[in-house]
Structure 1
Amino acid sequence: MLDKSQLSPPVATANVNAQEIARFDALADAWWDPDGKYKTALSFNAARVDFIEQAINKHFRPKGLADALFEGLSVLDVGSGGGLICEPLAKRGADVTGIDASATSVEVARRHALKLNLPVSYHHCLAGEWADKGQQYDVVINAEVVEHVPDQQTLIQECASMVKPGGLLILATLNRTFRSFIVAIVGAEYVMRYLPVGTHSWSKFVKPEELDSWTGSQFVRHTQSGFKLNPLTGHWKTTPSMAVNYLCCYKKQP
């Protein structure tokens, strides 16, 4: 299983040559290619981002033009990867920060945002290190990370500590059910090969009730959804069932 609690060696960005820049650009092109090998992940992300945007919209009730709808909102994406969640929110005007334990992911995200002239601030660090800075955000997102760390409760508590009073905590992961073992591990890793074998450990999948207890008494879950893949079309859609992939939104008390 991947371990996202370990900080990878930093990339020496002060002395990156043209060949390294080209490598990061190529990775960005591959990660964001809707017809490439990551197209299933991109389709999943599109469905998830659509739900996240609706949840933010419903919670904060912003008014304005679509491309500036979230202007004035600060967003932190913990485990931002290649920027798949950061960029759509930045396009809507949000002030977005992304942090990730992988130096390569951070550089790929930076290069892709630079191409699109999107002002996303990316940092190579762990959640605990960023939380120690004492910064807080209107929205904190942690998607597909908690199932990859050994101390899951601490990660969720670190994310929760960075949410402003009245703000929104958005958590996405996989449920620890028999169905998730069949679909997410046997199906996705061994049969369909959507993911490398060993990407997930079923024992690290998290039940929604566990997230509820880890967020603490200051938070109330008020929105949730599951996500389901149509194997014929390759597209994802929301579903009431949270038996496999799911997302929960928590409001922090004022």
Structure 2
Amino acid sequence: MHAKRTVATARVCRNVFHFYSHNGATPLLAFTVSRRYISGGTALDADVSYGQAGARDEGEHGFFQKMSGQWWKTDGNFQPLHAMNRLRVPLIRDSFLAYCSPRIDAEAYRNNAVPFAGTKILDVGCGGGILSEPLARLGGDVTGIDMVAENVRNARAHWTKSLSRRPNPVGSVEYSCSTLEELSQEETSPLLYDIVVCSEVVEHVKDLDGFISAVSAVVKPGGLVVVTTINRTVVSWAAAIVGAEYAMRLVPKGTHHYGKFVTPEELGSKLRRYAFDVRLKHGMRYSPLSRRWSWAMSDAVNYAMVAVKNVN
């Protein structure tokens, strides 16, 4: 079992985290996903997955309600998060291959234009749908949920617009104005997903324990959870709040609250408590100069975590 896990992790690291710098500085990515699949809008669009709070946080809800019309403004305050899609889409794809589909031929899978065909994916805190759309373009049957009604309306409108430009997608997207907790507590048996993505969400959650419990309730045994978030360190406070919100004004003031940041140890502990096996953790880094993200050795500010729900 340990040997199989080591091979799978090595495969993800080789395919997802294999990056080199052309000039010895900021590493550039070596991914093979076509850019036309990465976004339903422009080439480098990505997701800004906000507003999905455990035990609904009215302050967070109101803050993101005010910004509901900005999701697809790729050169606005959300540009750093738009650019993050270049990391997340390949991460989700290759992690699903390594940890959930070990019998599939790796090369054929990565070269497949629709690797998520027949895969049920939940995008938690979907915002305007900027991550939901590219996952659907890769064949996924995506459900995007967000507690801000304006976000859901904008997401639906943009998907309709995207279909007019690129009809007949292999996958699909359905949006719902609801929380993860509401989805997991439906009277009927909750729909179980192959993949649940919580990207840039947990740092806005009021009750992390309840949130992870709800995640566990909607993931199939053997299914995948992918999280990206912000660590709680002095460095992250300086970078994500002082630097990004006040000094460089990369994102609006009040976007983040230091007390809600989650350390990898805390997140990993919560995931294990609710029947997940953490398979991978890796740091992420944003360069204001290049306006691009890269994988990093340090997880002091941003990081990604991948976990698989235990079968037993």
What band does the TM-score fall into relative to the shorter chain?
0.7 to 0.9
Change (3 A) 1:200 1:38: closer
The aligned runs of 1:25-64 (5 Å cut-off) are 27=69, 30-61=70-101, 63=108
SS, match of residue 67 in structure 1: coil
Corresponding residue for residue 182 of structure 2:
129
* Structure 1: distance between partners of 2:75 and 2:241: 23
Q: Is 2:222–2:309's contact at 8 Å kept on the other side of the alignment?
A: yes
Correspondence 1:110 to 2:156 = yes
Corresponding residue for residue 90 of structure 1:
136
Q: How many Å apart are 1:211 and its aligned residue?
A: 1.2
TM-score, normalised with respect to structure 1:
0.85
Q: How many Å apart are 1:73 and its aligned residue?
A: 0.9
Q: Deviations over 1:35-54 (max 9, x none)?
A: 44432221123323332222
| Paired amino acid for 2:297 | P
Corresponding residue for residue 101 of structure 1:
147
Corresponding residue for residue 12 of structure 1:
none
What's the Cα RMSD here? 2.2
Corresponding residue for residue 156 of structure 1:
212
Q: Deviations over 1:94-133 (max 9, x none)?
A: 1110100111111111111111225201000111110113
Paired residues, what number? Answer: 235
Corresponding residue for residue 172 of structure 1:
228
SS, match of residue 191 in structure 2: coil
Q: Is 2:52–2:124's contact at 8 Å kept on the other side of the alignment?
A: no
Moved over 6 A (4+): none
Aligned with residue 115 of structure 2, among 69, 74, 92: 69
Percent sequence identity is 39
Q: Deviations over 1:32-74 (max 9, x none)?
A: 2434443222112332333222222323345556332111111
| Paired amino acid for 2:155 | A
* Structure 2: distance between partners of 1:36 and 1:205: 24
| Paired amino acid for 1:188 | A
Q: How many Å apart are 1:190 and its aligned residue?
A: 0.5
Q: Which runs of 5+ in 1 are unaligned?
A: 10-23
SS, match of residue 84 in structure 2: helix
Q: Is 1:226–1:241's contact at 8 Å kept on the other side of the alignment?
A: yes
Aligned with residue 279 of structure 2, among 191, 201, 222: 222
Change (3 A) 1:203 1:35: closer
Corresponding residue for residue 17 of structure 2:
none
Q: Is 1:87–1:120's contact at 8 Å kept on the other side of the alignment?
A: yes
